[in-house]
């Protein structure tokens, strides 16, 4: 666990449940943790079951991350509460995600009273930031891209949510999800938002600027030329083992 990383204000999460994606991206050191949900579990071929999630938790913390966000499920407050408790018991670094529904709000309130760290997920309306400020989970996750898909200005609404949390001095971090491009990240950062989760496609985009790639290729080509020159100049001469006083009589 990186103490330096935990002190930083900004936090970037990897939104993935496939362990091959974890192995590829987590060693970069960019990611504070991992976020998952039942849809991502299904995409990775995993069951949304407590036994499967327990195995996933153990695997996640073999990597150098601070948190793993795992979503509770169930149609009632009691079901969300019971599953949330069990998921949280797997590791103290697990953060339990719960939809910001009527049942979910009651479940988060109870989980927080028991010392369980929580995230409200699936925020779509600005007023839901007020709900989050009142209940005070560790995180609240609006879906930027999906808000925009509904015909609204997703960036403006996410910024408004963040302004509500800051104006009320709420301890809750706005964890922006459904980020579609690296440009979304830069717009959010410019607006003062500092906590995000991104999928593999956006992670790949962070490392795929064509000019940077071209410059890297050019540097490597120049370095290879220099290595060849160094190798030639530093290679021992064929007669280097001859004694100074011994004449070279080879033809």
Non-local CB neighbours of 144 within 8 Å, separated by 6+ positions = 154, 155, 158, 176, 177, 178, 179, 180, 184, 188
Task: Please compute Rg for the chain using Cα positions.
Answer: 26
Q: How many helices (H) and strands (E) would you count in the chain?
A: 12, 8
Contact yes or no for 135/114 (Cβ under 8 A): no
Encoded tokens for 164: 């509500």
Secondary structure E strands in 39-101: 67-71, 94-99
97 is catalytic: yes
| From 7, 8, 97, 251, the catalytic residue | 97
Could you give the residue numbers annotated as active site?
97
């Amino acid at each position: 666990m990186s103490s330096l990383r935990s002190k930083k204000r900004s936090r970037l999460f990897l939104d993935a449940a496939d362990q091959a994606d974890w192995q590829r991206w987590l060693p970069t050191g960019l990611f504070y943790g991992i976020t998952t949900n039942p849809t991502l579990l299904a995409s990775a071929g995993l069951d949304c079951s407590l036994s499967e999630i327990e195995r996933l938790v153990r695997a996640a913390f073999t990597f150098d991350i601070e948190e793993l966000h795992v979503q509770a499920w169930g149609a009632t407050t009691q079901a969300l509460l019971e599953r949330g408790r069990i998921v949280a018991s797997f590791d103290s670094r697990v953060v339990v995600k719960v939809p910001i529904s009527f049942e979910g709000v009651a479940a988060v309130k109870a989980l927080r009273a028991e010392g369980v760290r929580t995230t409200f997920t699936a925020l779509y309306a600005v007023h839901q930031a007020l709900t989050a400020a009142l209940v005070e989970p560790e995180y609240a996750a609006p879906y930027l891209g999906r808000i925009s898909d509904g015909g609204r200005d997703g960036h403006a609404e996410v910024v408004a949510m963040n302004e509500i949390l800051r104006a009320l001095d709420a301890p809750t971090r706005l964890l922006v999800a459904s980020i579609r491009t690296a440009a979304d990240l830069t717009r959010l950062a410019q607006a003062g938002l500092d906590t995000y989760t991104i999928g593999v496609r956006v992670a790949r985009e962070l490392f795929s600027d064509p000019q940077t790639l071209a410059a890297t290729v050019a540097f490597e080509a120049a370095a290879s030329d220099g290595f060849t020159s160094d190798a030639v100049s530093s290679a021992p001469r064929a007669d280097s083992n001859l004694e100074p006083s011994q004449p070279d009589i080879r033809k």
